[in-house]
C-alpha cells in the first residue's frame, strides 16, 4: 500500500493546529493513521514545528511520500538534505563524517537565518505598535483641541447672549484692540512718571541736606578770619603804645610827629574791623536763610506740579 506523510487537522475554528502523521493514502484526512511524527502550528510567527527528525528520516528512507506542504516542512527542518547525504553515504560517494559536517554547517546557518528573521519580525512588530500608539495620541490631541475650541465658542456665544440681553452696543474687534493698546500705553506712561518722580525726590533732599552744612562751614571760616584780623590789630596797637614812652624821652618833636603817624593806622584798622563785622551777617541769620531756601523751592515745585 502507498504510505504518505501528511497533516491532520486539529484545533478549533479559525485556529487550526495540524498533526504530522504517517497514514495510508486511502484513509481520509482526519481518519486512521499509522504513526504521529509531530505537530505544526501556523498561528505563531514564525510557524512552530515540533517534529521527530529520526522517525521522519526513517519513513522517508522506507519510501513514504510526503505531500507538498510536508515536503516544504521537511526541507525547512533539513530532513530532505539528510536523506540526500545518507543516500550518498550508502552509495559510497562520501563518508559519514563528511555528511555529518555538511549537515552541521547547514543547520548552523539555518539557525542564524531563523534567529535573524525572528529579530526582524519582533522589531517590525514593535515599530508597528509604536506607530499605532503615536497615531492614537495624535487623534486624542486633535479631539481635545476640538473640544476646547467648542468650549470657547460656547463661552463666546454665552457672553454675546448676555451682552444682547443687557442691551449693550456691539464692539468691533478693531476697537477692542485699540482700547487695549491705549490702556497699556497709559499704564506704561504712569509707571515711567512715577519712576522719574521717585528718582528726583532723593536728589532734591540730598541737595537740601548738603546746603546748610556748607553754609555753616563758610560762616565758621568768616568768623575765624574776622577774629584773626582783630587780634592782629590789637597786637599792633599794643606795640605802638609800648614804643611811645621811649620816643618821648629823646625829643618832644619826634614824639609829636611819631604818635600821629602811628595812631592813624591803628584807627584805620579798627574802623576796617568794625565795617567787616557790620557787613558780614551772623551765623544764625545765614543758617535761617539757608533753611528757608529749600522750603521756598519745594513750594515752587508743588505749584508747578
Q: State the chain's mean pLDDT as an integer.
A: 74
pLDDT at residue 167, rounded to an integer: 78
Per residue in 25-77, pLDDT (tens digit) is: 898 888 889 999 999 999 988 889 999 999 999 999 998 999 999 999 999 99
pLDDT at residue 256, rounded to an integer: 42
pLDDT at residue 259, rounded to an integer: 41
Per residue in 237-279, pLDDT (tens digit) is: 656 555 544 444 444 444 444 444 434 444 454 545 445 444 4
Q: Which CATH architecture has domain 3-94?
A: 2-Layer Sandwich (3.30)
Query: DSSP characters for the chain?
Result: --EEEEEEEEEETTEEEEEEEEEETTS-TTS--SEEEEEEETTSSSPEEEE-HHHHHHHHHHT-EE-HHHHHHHHHHTHHHHHHHHHHHHHTSS-HHHHHHHHHHHHHHHHHHHHHHHHHHHHHHHHHHHHHHHHHHHHHHHHHHHHHHHHHHHHHHHHHHHHHHHTPPPPPHHHHHHHHHHHHHHHHHHHHHHHHHHHHHHHHHHHHHHHHHHHHHHHHHHHHHHHHHHHHHHHHHHHHHHHHHHHHHH-HHHHHHHHHHHHHHHHHHHHHHHHHHHHSPPHHHHHHHHHHHHHHHHHHHHHH-
Per residue in 121-167, pLDDT (tens digit) is: 889 989 999 999 999 999 999 999 999 999 999 998 888 888 888 87
Amino acid at each position: 500500500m502507498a504510505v504518505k506523510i501528511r497533516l491532520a487537522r486539529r484545533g478549533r475554528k479559525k485556529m487550526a493546529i495540524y498533526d504530522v502523521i504517517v497514514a495510508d493514502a486511502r484513509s481520509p484526512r482526519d481518519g486512521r493513521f499509522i504513526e504521529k511524527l509531530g505537530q505544526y502550528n501556523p498561528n505563531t510567527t514564525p510557524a512552530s514545528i515540533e517534529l521527530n527528525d529520526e522517525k521522519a528520516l526513517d519513513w522517508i528512507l522506507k519510501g513514504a511520500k510526503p505531500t507538498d506542504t510536508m515536503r516544504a516542512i521537511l526541507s525547512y527542518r533539513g530532513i530532505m538534505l539528510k536523506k540526500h547525504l545518507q543516500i550518498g553515504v550508502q552509495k559510497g560517494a562520501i563518508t559519514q563524517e563528511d555528511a555529518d559536517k555538511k549537515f552541521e554547517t547547514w543547520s548552523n546557518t539555518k539557525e542564524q537565518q531563523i534567529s535573524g528573521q525572528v529579530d526582524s519580525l519582533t522589531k517590525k512588530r514593535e515599530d508597528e505598535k509604536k506607530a499605532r500608539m503615536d497615531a492614537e495620541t495624535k487623534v486624542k490631541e486633535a479631539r481635545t483641541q476640538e473640544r476646547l475650541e467648542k468650549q470657547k465658542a460656547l463661552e463666546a456665544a454665552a457672553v454675546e447672549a448676555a451682552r444682547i440681553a443687557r442691551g449693550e452696543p456691539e464692539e468691533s474687534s478693531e476697537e477692542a484692540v485699540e482700547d487695549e493698546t491705549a490702556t497699556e500705553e497709559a499704564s506704561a506712561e504712569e509707571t515711567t512718571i512715577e519712576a522719574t518722580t521717585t528718582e528726583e525726590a532723593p536728589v532734591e533732599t540730598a541737595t537740601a541736606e548738603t546746603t546748610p552744612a556748607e553754609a555753616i562751614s563758610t560762616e565758621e571760616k568768616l568768623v575765624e578770619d574776622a577774629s584773626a584780623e582783630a587780634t592782629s590789630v590789637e597786637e599792633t596797637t599794643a606795640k605802638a603804645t609800648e614804643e611811645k614812652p621811649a620816643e618821648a624821652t629823646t625829643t618832644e618833636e619826634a614824639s609829636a610827629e611819631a604818635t600821629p603817624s602811628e595812631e592813624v593806622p591803628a584807627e584805620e584798622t579798627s574802623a576796617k574791623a568794625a565795617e567787616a563785622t557790620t557787613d558780614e551777617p551772623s551765623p544764625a541769620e545765614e543758617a535761617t536763610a539757608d533753611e528757608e531756601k529749600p522750603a521756598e523751592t519745594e513750594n515752587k515745585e508743588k505749584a508747578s506740579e
